[in-house]
Amino acid sequence: MNDLTELDEPIEIAQTMRDEIRRVSNATRARRLMVSRVMTTLCAVTLAVTAVPLALLLYQLIKRGAPELTWTFFTKVPETPSLIAPNATGGLSNAILGSIALNVYASILAIPIGVLVGVYLAESMNKFAATLRVIAQTMAGAPSILMGLFAFSFLLQDLHIGFSAIAGSFALAVLMLPVIIIATEIAVLNVPNTLREAGLALGAKPHKVSMRVVIPSALTGIVTGCILAISRAIGETAPVLLVIGGGYLNTWKPLSPVSALPLSIYENAKSEWPSQRAQVWGAALLLVIFVFILSLTARIWASRKQKVSN
Amino acid sequence: MAEFSSATTSRSWYHYLLLTACVLFGAVSVGFVGSIIQKSLPTWLHHSTTLIGGGGWQSPSGPFGGLAMIVGTLETSLIALVIAVVIGLGTAISIVFFIPRRLRNIVATFVELLAAVPSIVYGLWGFLVLAPFMYSTIDPWLNSWPFAREIWGDPSQQYGPSLFLAAIVLGVMILPTFVAISREVISVVPDDLIEASLSLGATRWQVIRKVVLPTARIGLFGATFLALARATGETVAVALIAGGVAKVQWHMLNPGTSIASWIATEFGEAQGNEVSALMALGVLLMLLSFSLSLVSRWLVSRQRKLLARV
C-alpha cells in the first residue's frame, strides 16, 4: 500500500486498486457463487422444514377438531363414558364458561394496575421506575407454573381461600401484568413529544396532559397490549392447573371451583376412552380459534392506528 | 423526557393513583418471589443436598431428589433451542429475502399467529399423534443405528413418550416465536447496507453472512433467549410427552421429566414435605429463569456498547 500512495497520479492508484479488486473478485467468483447457492438452498430447505410440522399440526387440529364442535359440546356438561355408553362424553360447557370467567376476572385484576404502572414507567425517570421496569421484564419471562405456585402458597395456604376461580384468575393476572405494563410503556413512549408540549403550552397541568392527551393518543397501543395479554392467558394451563380445582358444574362464581378449556384438554388427553380423547381435539380447536381471533383483532387495531397516525 | 415527567412531579391525586398501582405491583412481585421461597424453606434447611442429588423421588415420604428434573430440563430445552435456532434462522432469512414480496406479509402474520398457539395444543399433538408414530415407526429405525443402545437407550424401556420427543415438540413450539422475532430484526436491517455490499460484488450469501446477521445480532440474541426461556419453563406439553419418570436420563429415547412438568404432575397428590420440596424445585426454576434474563440483558447491553463504539 505504501508504494502505491507514493505514486504521483491519483487516477493511476484508483486504476491499480480497481484492477486488483476485479482480479480477486473474478478469481473467487465461481467459489463464492457456489457457496451462496448452496447456503440459500439450505435456507429454503429450513423454510420447508418449518412449514411441514406446523402445517401438519394445523391440518390435524382442524380435521379432528371440527367434527367435535357440536351443539352438545357447547351446551352440556361432561359425562364419564361407560361400557354401556362408550361415546357418552357430554360437552365441555363448564370448561368454556370457566375459561371465560377466569379471564374476565383476571383482566379486571390486571388491566387497571398494569396500565397505571406502564404510564408511570413511561413518564418517570427515577430509580424506582427503573427497578420496576427490570422487575416487569424479568417477570415477563418467568415460567407460568410459578404463577400457579404463587397463587397456591399465597391464596390457598396462607389465606385459606380454597380451590376457586378467583385463585386461578389471580395467577393469570400475575402472568398478564408484565405484558400489559411493557406494552403500555411502549405505547406511551411512542406518543410524540410535540403533543405533550402543545398541551403544556396551552397551560394545562402536567397530570391533565397525561390524562387527556397522552393516554388517549396511546390508547390503541394499550388496548392491543391488553388483548395480547388475554390471548396469552386464555391458553395457559400451568398457572390454573394447581388452583382452580376443576368442577363439572356450569358456574362462574369467583369462589367456586371451575374448569377451563386448557385444563380439560390436559386431563382428557390421558383418558382411556377414545371418545374423550377425540373430544379433546374439539377443545383444542376452539382454544386456537379464540387465540387467533384475539391476536388478529390486536393486529387490526395496531395497523388501524398506524394508518391514522400516518 | 425529564422535563415531561409530569405525573410524578405534580403532587395531584393522579400522581398518587399511579404510585399506588406501582406499589401494588412491587408488592405482588415481592410476594411472588417471597412466598415461594418461604414455602420451600423447610426443604432448603433440612434436605438441600437431597434436593439437588440424584436419589430419585419417592412420594409421599421422600427422599425428594431433583437432579433428574434439572438434567431433564437442561437436556430438553437445549436440544429444542438448537433445533429452533438452526431451522428458525434459515426460515427467517428465507422469509425476508427469498419469498415474493406479496406473500411475505401473509407468511409473517401466519408465523406470528402460530407463535400464539397455546402450548397445550402442541403437547396434545405430540401426545396423541407424534408419540404413537415415534413408537411404531421412528424408534425402531433409530434403534437400528450403530451404538443405538448407548445413544438412545434400552428399547424395552421405550414406549413413545421420551425426552427426545419432548425436545422435538418443544423445538417445534418455540420455532414460531424465534422466527417471528428474528424475521422482524432481520427485516429492519437498512437497505443501504445491503445494496452497498451488493454493489461491491458480494454474493447474496456474503451479504447475509457479513452484513445482515452481524447488524441484526442484538435482536437475534434476544430472540434466542426468549425461545430458551419458553422452552425451560414449558410445563404441560412436557408433562404429556416426556414420560414422567424421575430418573437421571442420558439415553434420549427413554422417558424422563423436567422441573416444571414434575411440579405440575406431582402437585395434585402432594402433602406436607413433598409440597415444600416441589416449591423448592420451583425456586430452582425461578433461579434458572431469572439468571437467563440477567445474562440476556447483560449480553444485549454489552453489544449495544460495542456497536456504539464503532
CATH of the domain at A185: 1.10.3720.10
Q: Are A100 and A228 part of one and the same domain?
A: yes
Asked, for residue A249, whether it belongs to a domain, the answer is yes
Q: Are A256 and A153 part of one and the same domain?
A: yes
Q: What pLDDT, in 10s, does the model give residues A154-197?
A: 998 889 888 989 999 999 999 999 999 999 999 999 888 898 88
Residues on chain B touching A235 (C-beta within 8 angstroms): 116-121
Q: What is the mean pLDDT of residues B263-288?
A: 90
From A42, A132, A141, residue closest to B90, measured CB to CB? A42
Residues on chain B touching A149 (C-beta within 8 angstroms): 36, 39, 263, 278-279, 282
Lookup result for grid cell 360437552: A91
Name the least confident of A6-10, B34-38, B67-71, B248-252.
Answer: A6-10
> What is the model's pLDDT at position A120?
92
> What is the model's pLDDT at position B306?
74
Asked, for residue A124, whether it belongs to a domain, the answer is yes
Q: Are A26 and A170 part of one and the same domain?
A: no
Asked, for residue B220, whether it belongs to a domain, the answer is yes
Q: Are A111 and A6 part of one and the same domain?
A: no
Asked, for residue B9, whether it belongs to a domain, the answer is no
Q: How many CB pairs under 8 A join A and B?
A: 268
Asked, for residue A80, whether it belongs to a domain, the answer is no
Asked, for residue A76, whether it belongs to a domain, the answer is no
Q: Which of A37, A38, A120, A215 to mutate to test the interface with B (most CBs of B within 10 A)?
A: A120
Between CA A175 and CA B263 the distance in angstroms is 18
Asked, for residue A107, whether it belongs to a domain, the answer is yes
Q: Are A62 and A133 part of one and the same domain?
A: no
Nearest to B255 by CA among B159, B177, B119: B159
> What is the model's pLDDT at position B24?
95
Asked, for residue B241, whether it belongs to a domain, the answer is yes
Distance in Å from the first CA to the final CA of chain B: 26
Asked, for residue B24, whether it belongs to a domain, the answer is no
Q: How many domains does chain A have?
A: 2
Q: What pLDDT, in 10s, does the model give residues A248-283?
A: 788 888 888 888 999 999 988 888 888 888 899 999
> What is the model's pLDDT at position B3?
43
Asked, for residue A165, whether it belongs to a domain, the answer is yes
At B33, which helix (H) or strand (E)? helix B13-51
* Phi, psi (deg, nearest 5) at residue A8: -80, -40
What is the DSSP-derived secondary structure letter of residue A257?
-
Nearest to A233 by CA among A172, A290, A177: A172
Q: What pLDDT, in 10s, does the model give residues A204-220?
A: 888 888 888 888 889 88
Q: Are A173 and A287 part of one and the same domain?
A: yes
Structural contact between residues B42 and B276, judged by C-beta atoms closer than 8 angstroms: yes
In this structure, chain A runs to a length of: 310
Asked, for residue A85, whether it belongs to a domain, the answer is no
Asked, for residue A126, whether it belongs to a domain, the answer is yes
> What is the model's pLDDT at position B1?
42
Q: Are A150 and A292 part of one and the same domain?
A: yes
> What is the model's pLDDT at position B310?
58
- pLDDT band at residue A227 under the 50/70/90 scheme: very high
Contact residues for A24 (Cβ-Cβ < 8 A; gap 6+): none
Give the three cell numbers for residue A194: 410535540
Full 3-state SS string of A169-230: HHHHHHHHHHHHHHHHHHHHHCCCHHHHHHHHHCCCCHHHHHHHHHHHHHHHHHHHHHHHHH
Report the gap between the CA of B165 and the closest CA in chain A (Å): 13
Report the gap between the CA of B54 and the closest CA in chain A (Å): 23
Asked, for residue B39, whether it belongs to a domain, the answer is no
Owning domain of residue B245: 68-269+288-309
* CA distance readout (Å), A5 to A12, A16, A21: 10, 11, 17
Q: How many domains does chain B have?
A: 1
Contact A117 B206 (CB under 8 A): no
Q: What is the CATH number of the domain that holds B156?
A: 1.10.3720.10
Asked, for residue B50, whether it belongs to a domain, the answer is no
Q: What is the mean pLDDT of residues B57-62?
A: 78
Q: What pLDDT, in 10s, does the model give residues A90-126?
A: 888 889 999 999 999 999 999 999 999 999 999 888 8
Determine the distance from the C-alpha atom of residue B82 to the mean position of all C-alpha atoms in its chain, rounded to a whole number.
Answer: 11
> What is the model's pLDDT at position B219?
86
Q: What pLDDT, in 10s, does the model give residues B152-187?
A: 877 777 778 889 999 999 999 999 999 999 998 998
Structural contact between residues B96 and A48, judged by C-beta atoms closer than 8 angstroms: no
Nearest to B96 by CA among A302, A47, A33, A295: A47
Judged by DSSP in three states, A254 sits in coil
| Residue A310 pLDDT exceeds 70 | no
Owning domain of residue A41: 2-67
Q: What is the mean pLDDT of residues B104-117?
A: 88
Q: Are A22 and A151 part of one and the same domain?
A: no
| Residue B121 pLDDT exceeds 70 | yes
